Structure 1
Amino acid sequence: MDFVSWKEREIHREKFFIADGIINRSLWDKAPVKVLFLMKEAYESSSNVMEEWALNDYLAGKKLNELGKTMWWSMAQWVDGVNKLVETGEVNSFDKDYKSNPKMEEAFHSCAIINIKKSSGKSSSSSDDLSTYVDSDWDLLMEQIQRINPDLIICGATYPLIESKLVKSEPIAEWLYYKNGYHFVDFWHPSNQWPYKVKYYSLMSALKQSKEQWIPKKLV
């Protein structure tokens, strides 16, 4: 993705920009289901950091037990669950030892993550602010999605922000929409305060009911 041109847009100019995308290209290419998370915004917590960085590169160099934010752990559980749902046809039991499971770590590194807002990120998000970035950058966001070309897009409390940019249609299953050539899941943010198990089983149960619709054609 041409992030150089992206950064030159007025809304991003001279602001701290955090790129994003596929975490590990090799694992992405081998993944049973190519899962993209559409998130809100990333941010640099230290005012001393001057050099811009990419979220996917940062995550590629980290193990699950090194990542302090609970959202990454939820995302790892969800990707692993989606893969196993496709492989077995059933919802796999929640793995309470996920942080020390190398398969879970591999699943996490096989996904892609993009943020709606790529500059001036904050620790808490405003819907009005994020909508401004959707309006400004939707063409580039859609281009980034198309370049990544995922099988399933899990929206972390972002679907309402992008819905007006997509073709109008009713959900085809629980939380599931097929729009603009992609399957979107309108779901909670991974850092939602519900217990891990509740989030995991809620998502997996819904996706099991609709798997015949979103399962990658190459696996049918």
Structure 2
Amino acid sequence: MKILLAEDEEQLSRVLKVALTKNGHEVEIADNGQLAVELSQKSAYDVIILDIMMPIKTGLEALKEIRATGNKTHVIMLTAMAEVDDRVNGLDAGADDYLTKPFSLKELLARLRSMERRVDDRFTASVLEYGNMKLDVHEQELVSHNSIRLAGKEAKLLEFLMLNPEKELSSQQIEQHVWEEDNAADAQTVWIYISYLRQKLAAISAKVEISGQKGGSFTLKKVG
């Protein structure tokens, strides 16, 4: 999974990054709440780990701003305070889970493993909108000036792009989210399906494009 770790305690941040990386996760670091907000707007993460007490913006302030953009990434709050009010405030602000410092690294890793086993579309709306187009996730129908039906992987790929608009998504990220455990998928497969989607966006005159080149990153953007 790709994880954003927002923690201003340098030693703890370093230890967590090493441990998470050794367990197969890709980790990016923010040492203040403002940077966490900015990174969340640029990249797609599977999990955001937010310390509550951080400079510039607190974890709670950062979380409220992240959620205000429509970002539904799973968020785990870290807090040195065990009071019930602190937990309630975090959950009310949009956190999905919390850990109280000091916490067990084994517990954090166990929670992440549990998340990987969950169905990752629990927050997905039945209809997604971006630009002048709509995607009916369940019917796999894409609508703009006219409509077109998508194949299963096409719909899942476009859903992932629409949940993360204007963010650079690497071919590897797309493989992991769209094809999951399908070992047959690779950068070539991603490129083929991106090409299919580009043709269908053009067919319905959507004012949306997928930028990017074969083997690189791709971004869903509005045009016109």
TM-score (norm 2): 0.31
Q: Taking CA–CA contacts closer than 8 Å with sequence separation of 6 or more, which of the two structures ends up with the larger relative contact order?
A: 1
Q: Whose radius of gyration is greater, 1 or 2?
A: 2
The structure richer in strand per residue is 2
